[in-house]
Amino acid sequence: MEILTQLTFLERGIIAGILIGFISPLIGAFLLVRRMTIITEGLSHITLTGITAGVLMTQSVAIFGAVNPLYTGLLFSLGGSLLIERLRQIYKYFEELAIPIILSAGIGLSALLISFSNSSYTEWYNYLFGSIVTVTISDLYFIGGTGIVAIGLIGLFYKELLSISFDAEFAATSGISIKKLNFLFSILIALVISMSMKVVGILLVGALVTLPVAAAIQFAKSFRHVLILGIIFGEAAVIGGIVSSYHLDVATGGMIVVVGVLLLIGAIFVKRMLRFSSDRAKEGHS
């Protein structure tokens, strides 16, 4: 632990980014299969509500002065993920309504709480769009702890998560508890969003979950390939974005997303070129 306290702000940001770049595509791959990638947008906004609540607590209640707002953000993210799951059960035939309901509530509450806060524009800007220079040792502990928990849960329940993602009905007949696995999956999504917001930013965290996976499926031939390639694209986007943002003095999260978009465009272009070359080769043989 002592070695972590000796890290510079840039080193802390890079370590946090590497952890996020590894875990986000893992969750993104499962969300892609379940066609639920949009859920990250709803949860990111309710997480912002938790952040603003935490900031207000530290400003107005002395006993909470040392509380890191990331923890309140995690609590709200967990609550929001469970509420989405509950709303999907209530609106059984209109499950897509759950996410905009949570998203709208998150935006409204966040705007209200921010108006009561004494924090500067810069602080909120960093939460919204990410900043590696603001990653503290406390943030790094939080990101590392939530990351370890997320990886552990994925490792322990990988087969079950895979089963309910591809064929929930078959998983149910096999004795797998769909309700418990959905609850677990909601926790995983909340963990990834809460750990990513300090580096990527609350408004952009969904992009880091989806863009690397979108690039990976251009080349992947199996779900395992999607996971591996997603991690590679995710790490490339994070490291490239952090280095670029530092040298260009721009928002970290925005730069990470831009690099991710460029990687996706590059992947689509390469895939089309490979397909074109393959078609030409077949025509030549015929």
What pTM was computed for the model?
Answer: 0.82
Kindly report the length of the chain: 286
Q: List, for residues 116-137, the tens digit of each pLDDT value.
A: 777 666 677 777 777 777 787 8
Say how far apart CA 281 and CA 75 lie, in whole Å.
56
Q: What is the pLDDT of residue 232?
A: 93
Please list the rounded mean pLDDT of every run of 10 residues in the chain (286 residues).
67 84 87 78 82 81 71 84 78 72 82 77 74 79 86 86 76 75 80 81 82 90 89 92 84 87 93 77 64
Q: What is the pLDDT of residue 237?
A: 92
Say how far apart CA 68 and CA 111 lie, in whole Å.
20
Per-chain mean pLDDT for the chain: 81
Q: What is the pLDDT of residue 285?
A: 62
- Per CATH, the number for 2-205 is 1.10.3470.10
Q: List, for residues 164-189, the tens digit of each pLDDT value.
A: 777 777 777 777 777 777 778 878 88
- Please report, to the nearest 10 degrees, the dihedral formed by the alpha carbons of residues 94, 110, 239, 157 taken in order: -40
Q: What is the pLDDT of residue 258?
A: 92
Residue 86's contacts (CB-CB under 8 Å, 6 or more residues apart) are none
Say how far apart CA 124 and CA 126 lie, in whole Å.
5
